[in-house]
Structure 1
Amino acid sequence: MFAEVQRMAPSYSDYVFAQSKRNPCLINLCQFIANDDARYGCRIASLQFRSDCKKPTRVDLGLQELEAIICSDVHGSGRLIIVEDLNGAVIETLGSGLDINPLFFASHIHGPKVEITSSKPSAAILPSKMLSQNFLSLQYQRSVDFGPCTMVPKKMSRDCNVPRKVVILPPMKDTRIGLEQQSCSILMSTTRSNSWLGVILVDKPNSDKYTSPEKKMVLPSRPFQGGYEDFSKRPSLFDDDRGYPERSSLLEDLIYFWTKELPPAFDNEQPTLLSLSYYPLKIAAAEWVSYISVMSNSIKQFEYTTEAPSQKDGLQKIDSDLRSLETWGRRCLQTSSKLQAALDFLKHHTKDNSGLEQYSMMIQDFEHIMGLVYTYGHRLEIMVPVVTSVLQIADTRRSLREAANVTRLTNLALLFVPLSFVASLFSMNGSITRHGLAIYFAIAIPLCAVVFFVARLPVIDFASISLAFRYKERREARMKSRG
């Protein structure tokens, strides 16, 4: 009987389309479900927690095993499901089995293109409503080093089920740095047997395959400056543990940290959303530190000297730098918004718990990162008038060069005026002798000197002289009236 009722129930896709009438920001999720072709496989890993075991055990799942876990009525310990490169089938399975708010998926799959016809959930939903939900959508930037590449488009996207935008920055010391969109969404839910179930959505691992509007490109890439720093406890010299995060797959990194040490204040029986979000927040903060380093190196690209730039390459560089500074200003605003969302989440879930020292320190880390973003963003902002001034100086110098060329041509034309006049005067005779030619130069050369002398005389401003005389007369009249 229960199976028949389940078959008669509407699908989760129909539910999402119906909810999009109430929340227009779900349009991107509707388009993702409607156009889902599942070009790539979706990896699913499960971490099972038991009360008698300190570390969770990993089990790789398929779609059928995931559905069996969600629909199971067997009481037991909780699980943490990590889904890599989400697709429509997983959305249908998780959404219908756990009755998930569509905003959870919509916030995660927000595409690389900003459409003016639809808004993203993070901008459309007020913070008070987002904080009351049982999920966290964490967005950050990952810095990627492409090496000394040439002919690279400014924007590319990763080839995966959930496309992510990759912005290529101007060359910095013969190296091309890319900023890659990353998203990690954490959900706290329960199964039908009332055992807890956490879901974490992560992006596909980094690869060398990127797409551009023109053509597909294969670019070798590596994490910028070796990737983020390992924030876990340092192993002892005498410890056999030599593991480290791979920094290419967020799924593998999360499993590495979860199996190495449980988050602070984590309860196997009933964990909180804050404890499930501990490691994603720590990884995001570490990635933001690499992003700050990119900002610091970008500032050095906008330092100029007083030397005149070349006429072609210099003006093109100034124009490119001005465009980059405007883009950095918009990028800093988006970065501050993402960091503020993470800070609001941490403060909201720690305001009633005074014993969470590790999370209080994490708040300080995010506030420190926000302060650095503000500082470097302000530095980049004040560089705009500097670049504009350099552009004006370059235009002024170009105008001065053109004026010098015009003056040179004017002097050359002025030289031929007396020569032509004397030549036309002597041509009236009709016969040119040797003595007549000498007489021509004897008259033309002094006449040229006189013409150049007259042309170099200062221009008399009769209007200024007239005003000076009037001022003098009025002053004398005032002095006489006082005497």
Structure 2
Amino acid sequence: MANLQPPSAPGSRNPPDPNRHAPRDYAAAVHRHSLRSKEHHLFTGTNYRSLALFLRNKNSRASAGAGQAPGLSREHDILIIHDLTPAGRRITRFNSLTGLQDFHNHPLPADHCGQLVFLRGLPSPEWVNAIGARYRVDPELFWQHLPLTSGHATFDLPALASAACNIAKLTVTSIGHRTVGHAQSVHGGSSVLEPTRMSGSVLGPVGQSIVRKVSIHDEQNFSIEQDVHISIIKRGEGWLALILIDSGRDLDEGWVGAWDSSLHQCSRVEEIFSPVIMKEPRVCFQGADEGENPPVTAQRRPFSQSTSLLSGEQYGYYLHAPTMRVDAFYALHDVFAFVASAENQFLNMLNAKYLSNTRRYSTISQLEKELTNLRYHNMIVRDHASQLQRTIDCIQNRWDPHWIRPKRPRPPNRQSPPAGPEQGPEHLLAAHESEVQRTEAAASMLLRDFHGLLRKAQELSQRYNERIDEIRTSNMLAESRKATEQARSVTRLSLLAFLFLPLSFTTSFFGMNFRELGPDLSLWIWAVTSVPVFVFALLCCFWADVVKGISLFGRRGRKQSR
């Protein structure tokens, strides 16, 4: 456990919480609720059965070094807590091996203060029970976040807005690069790899990154989607934001996906995932003397992601610390801004690929492949548009009661002694108004960003639809031309067969060897006979045209006679 700021003295530490619950009590409560069947309970808990099995699993890898999967580093900061206090921000890290006991001793948020609690990667049952019991976390948060399988699908997720009013879900999209020499061809469409899900009895490595969706776009790029779940919890006069991040250990430490060595050669690729570019005005002129350049001998991590730094010391660097302490939404500003930056890069990538691939194909088979590709990417963009709309709704609902907001200062009591100039009602009211204005300005900026991303996604989807319609029209025209050519060929064959029909009839007739025909007939007799038969056949075939021509000739003759 590492502190950026020395902890408080033992005498000043918060007193023991009389309402503290043991981790086993949290698991038992979830287990009891999961046993409430539909036959006896209106508010059944059968959907939590796999979660209850997970929480009661004793074969976890929380602290035993021998339990670590091969290839995993010995330590991983599974939990990072930012204490937002009047004295400043204190960051405490808890590793996956020995951090449980230290976490039990960590104080709760003080009065009128906040905590940002980042849970990074897949937690063990011990960590979930400890966090749930310590902060009285609604199990619905873990049920929505953990990739658990259910023996009997209840289809309760995604949950109703009323059931998830205290849970915000964000999606971070990371762009990955594939080695061209080892990439499999993906002509004609992208493929999706479903996320690896666990049963309650089969656990993954502690801190392993969770990947919700993998999309392979072409020979050069793929993308992964990871979730961030946020829940605001009030503890007395303080508050905390529990932030569950899918990104934990590097993706080469654990489950295999599209980033596997079969698609990449790490020795050739310096970085698999593109960095998320977060922009701040004049950021290059700030913090230039802090020696941010890493040492040359630093270990290269080609599978690292920018999301792994979201919970570190640089979080909230450009935010106003006093406002972060009293306003939960403002304290989470960097999380929303990070998601917006990642989404912007993802949509820009899809738009660039659309512009480079449009009208590159000409044959029908190539157009069919492009059509399949466009349909799938259109589905991806629509999913992202829904996610953006959900995030916009979350920002617009920032005045809901579960969001901790700055409280308006109370009027002074007449019997209280007069306060100093820095504690007077005018000063407190001005500070409150400043905090509200700062929060609203940050929220307005986020809304503009996400509204712009939503418009970009909708415009890209419209481009996909227009191109799909264009390809469909081209295919229909090509099929029509092909059908016309086939009809012309059939017409020629039919006419040729009709021409040979009367000739075949006369030839067969004279070949019957009737006694009446005689044995010594000349060839000209067959020719003289075939000509009238052929003319008669032509009249029968084109009788409608002949009648039409005769009537037209008759009308012209009558007009000339007049």
TM-score normalised by L of structure 1: 0.70
Tell me what 1:289 maps to: 344
Distance 1:93 1:218, change over 3 A: farther
1:287 & 1:372 partners in 2: Cα distance?
14
Once structures 1 and 2 are overlaid, which stretch shifts more, 330-339 or 36-45? 36-45
Distance 1:460 1:103, change over 3 A: farther
Q: Does 1:16 align with 2:100?
A: no
Letter in 2 for 1:139: T
Tell me what 1:422 maps to: 506
Contact 2:213 2:226 in 1 (8 A): no
Q: Does 1:31 align with 2:50?
A: yes
1:424-449 CA-to-partner distances (Å, cap 9, x unmatched) read 24424699999956886798699879
1:30-69 CA-to-partner distances (Å, cap 9, x unmatched) read 4245256757686424355586976645534346534433
Distance 1:323 1:359, change over 3 A: closer
Tell me what 1:257 maps to: 314
User: How far did residue 93 of structure 1 move?
Assistant: 1.0
2:228 & 2:470 partners in 1: Cα distance?
38
Contact 2:118 2:245 in 1 (8 A): yes
Structure 1: runs of 5+ lacking an equivalent? 466-483
Tell me what 1:95 maps to: 132
Alignment of structure 1 residues 353-368 onto 2, 5 Å: 353-356=436-439, 357-368=441-452
Tell me what 2:411 maps to: none
1:226 & 1:81 partners in 2: Cα distance?
26
Contact 1:187 1:273 in 2 (8 A): no
Distance 1:169 1:437, change over 3 A: farther
Tell me what 2:169 maps to: 137
User: How far did residue 116 of structure 1 move?
Assistant: 6.4
Q: Does 1:376 align with 2:460?
A: yes
Distance 1:427 1:388, change over 3 A: same
2:540 & 2:149 partners in 1: Cα distance?
69
1:227 & 1:9 partners in 2: Cα distance?
38
Tell me what 2:244 maps to: 201
RMSD: 5.1
User: How far did residue 145 of structure 1 move?
Assistant: 3.3
Alignment of structure 1 residues 126-165 onto 2, 5 Å: 126=162, 130-131=164-165, 133=166, 136-148=168-180, 149-150=183-184, 154-157=191-194, 163-165=210-212
1:210 & 1:443 partners in 2: Cα distance?
88
1:401-436 CA-to-partner distances (Å, cap 9, x unmatched) read 432342243234224323322322442469999995
Q: Does 1:389 align with 2:473?
A: yes
Aligned with 1:184 (options 216, 220, 228): 228
2:147 & 2:537 partners in 1: Cα distance?
76
Distance 1:46 1:279, change over 3 A: same
1:247-282 CA-to-partner distances (Å, cap 9, x unmatched) read 615232431522x825235457x4432133122111
Higher helix share: 1
User: How far did residue 98 of structure 1 move?
Assistant: 1.4
Structure 2: runs of 5+ lacking an equivalent? 1-15, 62-68, 197-203, 295-300, 407-432, 552-562
2:319 is paired with a residue of what secondary structure? coil
Aligned with 1:327 (options 368, 379, 382): 379
1:275 & 1:7 partners in 2: Cα distance?
30
1:136 is paired with a residue of what secondary structure? strand
1:199 & 1:92 partners in 2: Cα distance?
14
1:404 & 1:110 partners in 2: Cα distance?
61
Contact 1:187 1:199 in 2 (8 A): yes
Distance 1:184 1:325, change over 3 A: closer
Once structures 1 and 2 are overlaid, which stretch shifts more, 401-410 or 298-307? 298-307
2:291 & 2:530 partners in 1: Cα distance?
95
1:433 & 1:222 partners in 2: Cα distance?
97
1:343-397 CA-to-partner distances (Å, cap 9, x unmatched) read 3345656899223323322222122212222322333344454444344334433
2:284 & 2:318 partners in 1: Cα distance?
16
Aligned with 2:213 (options 166, 179, 196): 166
Distance 1:362 1:72, change over 3 A: closer
Letter in 2 for 1:340: I
Among all aligned residue pairs of Structure 1 and Structure 2, give the percentage whose two residues are the same amino acid.
15
Distance 1:445 1:409, change over 3 A: same
Contact 1:144 1:177 in 2 (8 A): yes
Contact 1:184 1:203 in 2 (8 A): yes
User: How far did residue 84 of structure 1 move?
Assistant: 1.6
2:18 & 2:287 partners in 1: Cα distance?
60
1:231 is paired with a residue of what secondary structure? coil
